[in-house]
């Protein structure tokens, strides 16, 4: 699966579980970790966990390997490593604290209008 297709899969999965403020960052030339970051949040630990599990399940259904999934023990910041795409699912309160969008401000925002259910 191409990185752009994987990005779409991840964005659709978080959107299916009603993640809020979904942002995708193009990490090319900014970080060697991944091609894209997806950042979103849920309003409770249960929602954060549901969002993270949806990403994992959709990736596995597509025959993809989930390299790593961390943070489900407390469900305040769950990281799902899909190799070319890393998904960060925060609890709303923690997202503001860590502010990854500011940390990675050099990355270009990706318009998700075509992928998200409007």
**Which of 13-22, 28-37, 97-106, 108-117 reaches the highest mean pLDDT?**
13-22
Cα atoms found within 13 Å of the Cα of residue 59, Cβ hemisphere only? 27
| Summary mean pLDDT of the chain | 93
Q: Spell out the CATH class of 3-109.
A: alpha beta
Is it the case that residue 37 has pLDDT exceeding 80? yes
Distance CA 74, CA 46 (A): 10
- Given pLDDT bands bounded at 50, 70 and 90, which one contains residue 69? very high
How far, in whole angstroms, is CA 14 from its chain's centroid? 7
pLDDT of residue 118: 53
Around 106, how many Cα atoms within 13 Å sit in the side-chain half-sphere? 5
In Å, how far are 8, 17, 108 from 55, measured between CA atoms? 11, 9, 23
Q: How confident is the model at residue 97 (pLDDT cuts 50, 70, 90)?
A: very high
* 52-79 average pLDDT score: 95
For residues 74-79, give the mean pLDDT: 95
- Say if residue 12's pLDDT is above 60: yes
What global pTM score does this model have?
Answer: 0.94
Sign of CA dihedral 84, 68, 91, 100: negative
């Amino acid at each position: 699966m191409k990185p752009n297709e994987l990005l779409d899969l991840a964005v659709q999965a978080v959107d299916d579980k009603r993640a809020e403020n979904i942002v995708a960052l193009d990490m090319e030339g900014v970080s060697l970790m991944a091609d894209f970051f997806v950042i979103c949040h849920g309003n409770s630990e249960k929602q954060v966990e549901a969002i993270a599990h949806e990403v994992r399940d959709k990736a596995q259904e597509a025959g993809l390997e989930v390299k790593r999934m961390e943070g489900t023990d407390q469900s305040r910041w769950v990281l799902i490593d899909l190799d070319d795409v890393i998904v960060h699912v925060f609890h709303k309160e923690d997202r503001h604290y860590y502010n990854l969008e500011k940390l990675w401000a050099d990355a270009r925002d990706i318009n998700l209008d075509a992928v998200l259910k409007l």
